[in-house]
A and B are shown apart, each in its own frame.
Chain A
Amino acid sequence: MSERRYASFLTVLAIFGALFVASWLTLEADFPAFQYSAEYSRRLIPEEQFGDIATLASRYLWEHRALDLTGQAFVIVVAVVCCLALLKQTEARH
């Protein structure tokens, strides 16, 4: 077989293999949803207040995840500096 045919055969094999493993995992093995969870480590919001769920969820974000939000602010600053470094058009001062 020529090299291109060989490569596409391997690709098809890899994709079908991934599909097979993934579908076996989904359909045969039950996903243990929250089987190992503990009460003290979660805070849930009851579903009845339908109109207010968005406010309550975002209040959770600000009240309990402020550290990650601070880190994310720094990631955005770094992304801006990265794009500046990649797209600036100056010449080297020799």
Chain B
Amino acid sequence: MIPLIPFLVSVVLMFVIGLAGLIVKRDMVRLLMGVEILFNAANLFFISLSTQSAGYIDPFAHSIVMMAIVLDGTVIAVGLAMVMNVYKHYGTIDIRKLRRLKW
């Protein structure tokens, strides 16, 4: 049986990197990449859990991950279409310039 700790450490690191990317970065495409990293952290955790039963693998986790990859791909696609529209109006893809709607 493969020990779980290395997998768990990588999942947690990916989670923190994704969150840090969302907080720090100002380019919209990089923010969408941060969301994608968060989704992939969850997918990695599913896959690493399927190795935990001794001598067997659990195909449930593989099915879930195959569907989750498609779902977050669609979210990123719609996000990128929205980024194109933002560029048409604002001329920049810096999220700190999107401050016209306040209070």
Contacts and interface: CB of A to CB of B under 8 A. Distances in A.
B70 interface: yes
Contact of A44 (B19, B53, B81): B53
Interface string A47-83: 1000001001100110011001100100110110011
Given A31-B4, A34-B53, A44 B77 contact: no
Interface residues of B, number: 33
6 contacts: A15-B20, A22-B16, A23-B12, A57-B59, A79-B77, A86-B81
Tell me the dominant secondary structure on chain B's binding face.
helix
Contacts of A68: 63, 67
Interface of A: 11, 14-15, 18-19, 22-23, 25-27, 31, 33-34, 42-47, 53, 56-57, 60-61, 64-65, 68-69, 72, 75-76, 78-79, 82-83, 86-87
Contacts of B63: 57, 60-61, 64-65, 68
| Shortest Cβ-Cβ A-B pairs, 10 listed | A79-B74, A44-B56, A60-B59, A57-B59, A61-B63, A86-B81, A22-B12, A33-B52, A57-B62, A15-B20
B66 A26 contact: no
Tell me the dominant secondary structure on chain A's binding face.
helix
